[in-house]
Structure 1
Amino acid sequence: MRATILIIDDHQSVRTLVAEYLAEQDYHILTAADGEEGLVVARQGKPDLVLLDIMMPKLDGLGFLQAFRRDYTAPVIMLTARVEETDKVVGLELGADDYLTKPFSMKELLARVRAHLRRASLVQQTLVAELLRVGDLSLNRGTREVLVGNQPVSLTPSEFSLLEAMMAAPGRVFSREHLLELLQGNTYEGVERTIDVHIRNLRRKIEADPTHPCYIETVFGAGYRCRHRPA
């Protein structure tokens, strides 16, 4: 899927030149003539990267950046004729990721665009890898947060470890012995039936009806598994 780049600059010649060059590199291009128009286009087009002029009428680049960062995390490269260090610092503090001083070479611009899109893609992949979801149940490995719907659930370290393992491999049956091994380093009695206690407590926290669990299923004679989809 092609990345979408939003170019915001009040000089039509700059917009046209940059747009045509990046379109030739197979990017989908959106343009705006000032910050106000840029915010409208950004809401509609949801760009993957923004090229942003600073000096513009109506709403300048810094004003756009401040408003844009309230809702979006896409990388922003400032394109500015200003050379004062304070302008660059303010832009970076407001959430810009990089800057190019006009005039700039198209090859350098393309290199910066590719680098920031690649970095943003890696960050997104990491975030996706850290988030496990089954139905309305979600687990974030990075923040160690668990939600049922929009409601946070407080789990013990052992409960979190068990739920994480099973949600990472939905449908796979985990024996009590295997689950007990996952708790190495946590305080436990070393008895396989300890897992039953953890599962019972876990169900009380994440299941609407713990006696008829939707997420953590007992596989009789084998152990437990997380359903691919809630029952």
Structure 2
Amino acid sequence: MYNKTILIVDDDRDMHGLLRARLESEGYNIISAYSGEQALELIRERGLPHLVLVDIYMPGMSGLEFCRQLHTFTDIPVIMLTAESGSDVMVGSIELFAEDYIVKPFNARELVARVQRLMLRIRSFDYVTEPEMRIDEHLSINFGRQYVVVDGEHVDLTPTETKLLYILLSNLNQIVTLEFLLNRLWSRQEVFEDALRVHIHRLRAKIEDKAANRVYIMTERGLGYRLTVTNPQLIRYDFSNRKT
């Protein structure tokens, strides 16, 4: 049994029932909501699930609006369910940090496979649980609690920013390719390259100080990104044996 919880948000009760039955047969715990409003209320009452499946087009609060509100307080993985594959839908999903999307009608096996890939990706980030790791004189990181300390100031990271920084730091001063990052963070690299740029931009804004000419994340045009530390003090944890 997976013992992982999935929240299904879809006003189509027939579709909802099919999804629930199939995912429960795979060992997942299912929470059902038939509107965005109900889904948010369930999260407040029961806590966060491990994954959300949400239909984009629902009466009242749309799936996109639900995700916008959801991501004001969490960055849990989301798979969008949509009846179309137009660029507007893709862009909307990217901007709201959906991990993946699937177009209706879809094969149940395909959906289960995508859910399982995301669950494996969640489990694969086994973060350091010891206290803050000092990177250099300006930057410290706590992966377990998902924050950085920049020049003494505590700055929270989203789960995606934490994973991104973890991967880059695991390959300190080395180029990490776009393909590698996309495969580690999302299911569809051809869709989410723009989303990666957004996360890189936001992470830079949190840890860098351009006024002081302090830049950590370098863009290697056409290749990927590289985390550079001029005077590294990272001596408390060996990333070399980590699976990245």
Seen in structure 2, the aligned counterparts of structure 1 residues 38 and 151 have a Cα distance that, compared at 3 Å, is closer
Measured against aligned partners, the alpha-carbon deviations of 1:160-214 in whole angstroms (never above 9, x if no partner) come to 556x26xx9xxxxxxxxxxxxxxxxxxxxxxxxxxxxxxxxxxxxxxxxxxxxxx
Q: Which residue identity is paired with 1:22? A: L
| 1:79 equivalent in structure 2 | 81
What is the one-letter code of the residue matched to 2:64? Answer: L
| Alignment match, 2:222 | none
Give me the identity figure in percent: 32
Q: For the structure 1 residues 34 and 153, does the alpha-carbon distance in structure 2 shift closer, same or farther, using more than 3 Å as the test? A: closer
- Aligned residue runs from structure 1 range 158-177, under 5 A: 160-161=233-234, 164=236
Once the two structures are superposed, the pairs formed by residues 1-231 of structure 1 within 5 Å of their partners are: 2-43=3-44, 44-123=46-125, 125=126, 128-129=127-128, 131-133=129-131, 138-139=132-133, 144-145=139-140, 160-161=233-234, 164=236
Deviation at 1:146, TM superposition (A): 6.2
TM-score of the two chains, using structure 1 as the length reference: 0.58
Asked if the contact 2:23–2:112 (Cα under 8 Å) also holds between the matched residues in 1, the reply is yes
1:2 touches 1:27 (CA, 8 Å); kept in 2?
A: yes
Q: Deviations over 1:12-71 (max 9, x none)?
A: 111111011100111010010111111122232311111010111121100011111122
Alpha-carbon distance in 1 for matches of 2:120, 2:61: 29
Q: Distance in 1 between matches of 2:94 and 2:43?
A: 19
Cα deviation for residue 88 of structure 1 reads 1.9
CA drift at 1:115: 0.6
| CA RMSD between the two structures | 3.0
Contact 2:139 2:151 in 1 (8 A): no
Code of the residue aligned with 2:84 in structure 1: it is R
Q: Check the 8 A contact 1:7/1:51 in 2, yes or no.
A: yes
Q: Distance in 2 between matches of 1:161 and 1:118?
A: 28
Whichever of the two has the greater Rg, that structure is 1
Name the residue aligned to 1:210: none
SS of the aligned residue for 1:13 comes to: helix
Unaligned runs of at least 5 residues, structure 2:
153-229, 239-244
Q: TM-score, normalised by structure 2?
A: 0.55
User: Residue 59 of structure 1 aligns to which amino acid in structure 2?
Assistant: M
Deviation at 1:141, TM superposition (A): 5.9
Paired amino acid for 2:140:
E
1-structure distance, mates of 2:141, 2:15: 47
Please say if residues 75 and 117 of structure 1, whose CA atoms lie closer than 8 Å, have aligned partners that are also in contact.
Answer: no
Higher relative contact order (CA 8 A, sep 6+): 2
Q: Deviation string for 1:101-122 (max 9, x for gaps)? A: 0011110000000011111221
What's the offset of the Cα at 1:152?
Answer: 5.2
3-state secondary structure, aligned to 2:130: strand
Partner-residue secondary structure (3-state), 2:74: coil
Structure 2 contact 140–149 (Cα < 8 Å) conserved:
yes
What is the count of residue pairs matched by the alignment?
154
Equivalent-residue separation in structure 1 for 2:8 and 2:105 (angstroms): 16
